[in-house]
Amino acid sequence: MNKIILEIRAGAGGDEAAIFAGDLARMYQKYAEKIGWKFSVLDYNQTSLEGYKTLIAEIEGLNAYELLKQESGVHRVQRIPKTEKSGRVHTSTASVAILPVVEPQEIQINQGDLEVSFFRSSGPGGQNVNKVETAVRLVHKPTGIIVSSQAGRSQHANREQAMGILRAKLYEQKQIEEQLKTGASRKEQIGTADRSEKIRTYNFPDDRITDHRIGKKFHGIEKVLDGSLDKIIAAFKEQKQ
């Protein structure tokens, strides 16, 4: 699968969690740029110039799903926030989901199941940057899933993108249901099921990243956050073999 939806959400830790969500978004964007993949932001809720409550992007490139699926889960950061006066280390989290983009024929969506609304896209701090309501929000009534897209130029473009996100989420839900039915092993569920699982800790004071699933430690946090994910991806490939 060469096309994926990347969804990053700030978790526990207030402003610092939003800044960490922004760090993760830039990490994946820089990794994508380094290997020649296309990275397009579809939707975002920006808290400041550096932070995001949520960011949703589409990544397109050879084997994108295969290489990034192990990024799904809760990422935890331990560091002294810029906003911290007394130099205490804080722990914050952000969750990442990697969803394969599926073709319309794979997941049929009944238009009658959708509630569609339009709004103006917003910039940092929530101010409206568009005079026209081009951003689109979709509510899928049977499941309660809500998706939106605001980075496209027109209502039509945003609706198409929102439908793509919704299809990816419905596909993921279907996969989880099937895995639960067949009692699939935890290994097969990596990349889907338990989003609440803490998968990785970024410890700044010790300059150490620990991946809790494969029990490996990596050094050079700044380099990794600058898009050097190769070592981590290679470690998962090795584990698989």
Query: Can you give the CATH number for the domain in which 176 is found?
Result: 3.30.160.20
Query: Residue 53 phi/psi, 5° resolution?
Result: -70, -45
Which of 159, 182, 205 terminates a domain? The answer is: 182
How many of the other CB atoms lie within 10 Å of CB of 140?
A: 17
Domain span at residue 67 reads: 3-104+185-240
- Burial class, 110, CB count within 10 angstroms (exposed 0-12 / middle 13-18 / buried 19+): exposed
pTM for the model: 0.82
Are both 86 and 13 inside the same structural domain?
A: yes
The count of structural domains within the chain is: 2
User: Alpha-carbon distance 155 to 115, whole Å?
Assistant: 15
pLDDT of residue 87: 85
Are both 87 and 14 inside the same structural domain?
A: yes
Are both 98 and 202 inside the same structural domain?
A: yes
Which CATH number belongs to the domain containing residue 64 in this structure? 3.30.70.1660
DSSP 8-state class, residue 45? E
- Tens-place pLDDT, residues 47-104: 876 799 999 999 999 999 999 999 999 999 999 988 778 889 999 999 999 998 888 8
Are both 97 and 201 inside the same structural domain?
A: yes
Are both 193 and 80 inside the same structural domain?
A: yes
Are both 60 and 73 inside the same structural domain?
A: yes
